[in-house]
A and B are shown apart, each in its own frame.
Chain A
């Protein structure tokens, strides 16, 4: 009983720390990556004791992003504007961050491992209705942003909040429709089982990943996920050229850092969900529980625990690649106009999602009657 509790606590902490640290590293990724895209150098000033320079290394800007910036943010004045709703103004950033972080609880970061008779599922919370849980937490995440903008007593912030709310509600529908199609395909709401069903290969070379079964759902989830994270090209709620900074105009210091962290945690969340639903989660092609079964009959035995570890690494590698694609899109596309955003959501993605569900249902029923 105590061991189970300890294992559960360790799993929860590890998953949370992995997600949070990836979100922090993404900030650096984005700074240096955008510099790369725009032919700039990017963050390169701060350097502790000049250690890297003494070794002759270029300054990667890691000290800037991961140490100097957090210290700066958390020591800044915590400003509350006049006439603001003080309680909600303080609560909102955490109301935004919390739902995103608890969503990571149901994400399977690896297969189960058996150590000394304990079977441990590498997932913080093994919920049966996990797909619904994801939709619920994402849905509740709107409040932090909406209330943050409202409580600031600032017109820009309120406009940003209204835009954010309308946008997130609209794209949640497309997101839900995409997830429903995936759930229909695998016949389960359990994310761990969805990952398991994606093991193995078709025709000896094509991994049995969800993207090959549900390509339309992949496009839907990716688009609506990017819209949920409110970044370019969907950054209307915080568009600098129109609304200063939108819903977090009146935030400074640690609370602003919480909003920023929410944005990056959402990028990680979208990547993690897409990995789980469409790229096999922790599955590696040809790797089974006892080792690699390569095409052509070759077999390499791999230790059980090493297989699980490889799975965890594969999961995060896929996630990081998807995060990078999101950052690439953010620095490539211009911002939508508001009517374009709504048209894409309601007249593009929602009908596409409904059609996808209809087609999926037809295929499932016809395959069922053929057997």
Chain B
């Protein structure tokens, strides 16, 4: 991927990520997030991680974000009117946030941990490579993760059932009147 294209996509991703934070309307925030995720998908594809890129677009862009949209609609979130609170409180808040950002830069990215990017072998992001890695090198981790996710799904269904429409009481319909 040429540098100018990378710079453009990266800038687009950052601008739309800022849009997620700064916009008032929750649906607009969500759309900005979609743009960010899709831009990152294109970045993946541009760096030859083709399968990961398309999966990002399918799973995050096409499925998870649509579910978010659903939740926003169903909760009927109001348009925010800006952060509440005193001016001094806002100032203090932004100061704290800036400090945190600076700390993150200083402590999380020490120079000796920065990885020098030195290219990648051809075809490393192909379906074959990804499948071999997942199902040969990391098979146990992969299976354990899938079992965990399955348990989470079953748990979610069980919880939703107990709260909402459970098995109907026999007196509601069809049962003999006493």
Contacts and interface: CB of A to CB of B under 8 A. Distances in A.
Interface of A: 85, 88, 128-129, 132-133, 135-136, 138-140, 142-143, 146-147, 150, 158, 162, 165-166, 169, 172, 176, 189
A139 B69 contact: no
Interface in B31-67: 31, 34, 38, 41, 50-51, 54-55, 57-58, 61-63, 66-67
Given A128-B126, A139-B57, A140-B38, A165 B62 contact: no
Interface residues on B, range: 20 to 34
A102 B139 CA distance: 36
B12 to A, nearest CB: 16
B51 A129 contact: yes
Interface string B61-77: 11100110110010000
Contacts of A135: 54, 58, 62
Contacts of B66: 142-143, 146, 165, 169
Contact of A142 (B54, B55, B62): B62
A139 B73 contact: no
A128 B31 contact: no
Contacts, number: 62
Chain A binding site: helix, strand, loop or mixed by DSSP?
A: helix
A169 B126 CA distance: 26
Nearest to B72: A150
Given A129-B54, A143-B34, A158-B73, A136 B61 contact: yes
Nearest to B34: A143
Interface string B4-47: 00000000000000000000010110010010001001000000
Contacts of B54: 129, 132-133, 135-136
Contacts of B58: 132, 135-136, 139, 176
B140 interface: no
B127 interface: yes
Interface of B: 25, 27-28, 31, 34, 38, 41, 50-51, 54-55, 57-58, 61-63, 66-67, 69-70, 73, 126-127
**8 A-B pairs closest in CB distance:** A139-B62, A132-B54, A136-B57, A136-B58, A129-B50, A136-B54, A139-B58, A135-B58
Contacts of B55: 132
B57 A162 contact: no
Contacts of B63: 139, 169, 172
B74 to A, nearest CB: 8
Contacts of A169: 63, 66-67
A143 B57 CA distance: 13
Nearest to A161: B73
Contact of B27 (A128, A147, A176, A189): A147
Contacts of B25: 85
A189 B61 contact: no
A342 B122 CA distance: 44
A150 B73 contact: yes
A83 B67 CA distance: 25
Given A129-B50, A132-B51, A139-B57, A165 B69 contact: yes
B66 to A, nearest CB: 5
Nearest to A132: B54
A143 B63 CA distance: 10
Given A129-B54, A132-B55, A165-B70, A140 B62 contact: yes
10 contacts: A88-B28, A128-B126, A129-B126, A135-B58, A136-B41, A136-B58, A139-B58, A139-B63, A142-B66, A162-B73
Contacts of B57: 136, 139-140
